[in-house]
Structure 1
Amino acid sequence: MVRYLILRTLIFVGCLALTWLLGLRDREEQLLAVVIAAVASLVISAVVLKPFRQQASADIAERVDRRVERKREKAARSDEAVEDAELRRPAGDVDEGGSDSDFR
């Protein structure tokens, strides 16, 4: 992701330098130069940096999948611990009313 960000910034700076070389140097033309550089770098980045963008997207998706899997495993372990605790409870641990003794 950092590599993509750096490359995109370099493309913008290159486009801005190109607009300066083409003659957009005056103070009144600076905003126009920045807008032209931004649009040009957007188009160039969309075409040239497509593999880097896809790789960054795949890396993010992989991290999200791993995080979801860890949460599922943690929930499963928690569920198993609750079931084990219920199985270890003695069978005679019930009140006359039929409710658990934990809820008196």
Structure 2
Amino acid sequence: MLRYLILRTLIFTGCLAATWLLGLRDREEQLLAVVIAAVASLVISAFVLKPFRQQASADIASRVDRRVERKREQGGDEVAEDAEVARPDARRAAPDDGSSDFR
């Protein structure tokens, strides 16, 4: 992901330098140069950086899958613990002799 971000930034910087070389140097034209560079770098990176974007997406998807799997494994233990707590236990059952503070 970091590699993709760096390459994308380099493409934008190159496009911005190209607009400067094409003559958009005045202070009034700076915003136009940035917009043109942003659009050009978007189009260029959509085609040139496609393999890097797919690799970054696959890496993120695999991390998410691993987290989900760990949650399932941990969740299985929690379900068993909940069943253990919900099971009636003779040792914990208090006799109902009316001496309880709660009514």
Q: Answer whether TM exceeds 0.5 for this pair.
A: yes
Bigger helix fraction = 1
C-alpha separation between the residues in 2 aligned to 1:14 and 1:30?
15
> CA offset at residue 95 of structure 1?
6.5
Paired residue type of 2:6: I
- Give 1:32-47 correspondences, 5 Å limit: 32-47=32-47
State the TM-score, normalized to the length of structure 1.
0.79
**Count of aligned residue pairs for this structure pair:** 98
> CA offset at residue 77 of structure 1?
1.6
State the TM-score, normalized to the length of structure 2.
0.79
Matched, 1:8 2:1: no
> CA offset at residue 83 of structure 1?
4.4
**Unaligned 5+ runs, structure 1:** 97-103
Question: Higher mean Cα deviation, 63-72 or 73-82?
Answer: 73-82
C-alpha separation between the residues in 2 aligned to 1:29 and 1:86?
71
Indicate how the Cα distance of structure 1 residues 32 and 85 shifts in structure 2: closer, same or farther if over 3 A, else same. Answer: closer
C-alpha separation between the residues in 1 aligned to 2:86 and 2:32?
72
> CA offset at residue 94 of structure 1?
8.7
Superposition CA RMSD, Å:
2.5
For CA contacts below 8 A with separation 6 or more, give which structure has more relative contact order.
Answer: 2
| 1:26-48 per-position Cα deviation (integer Å, ceiling 9, x unaligned) | 11111111111001000000000
Percent identical among aligned pairs is 73
Aligned to 1:20: 20
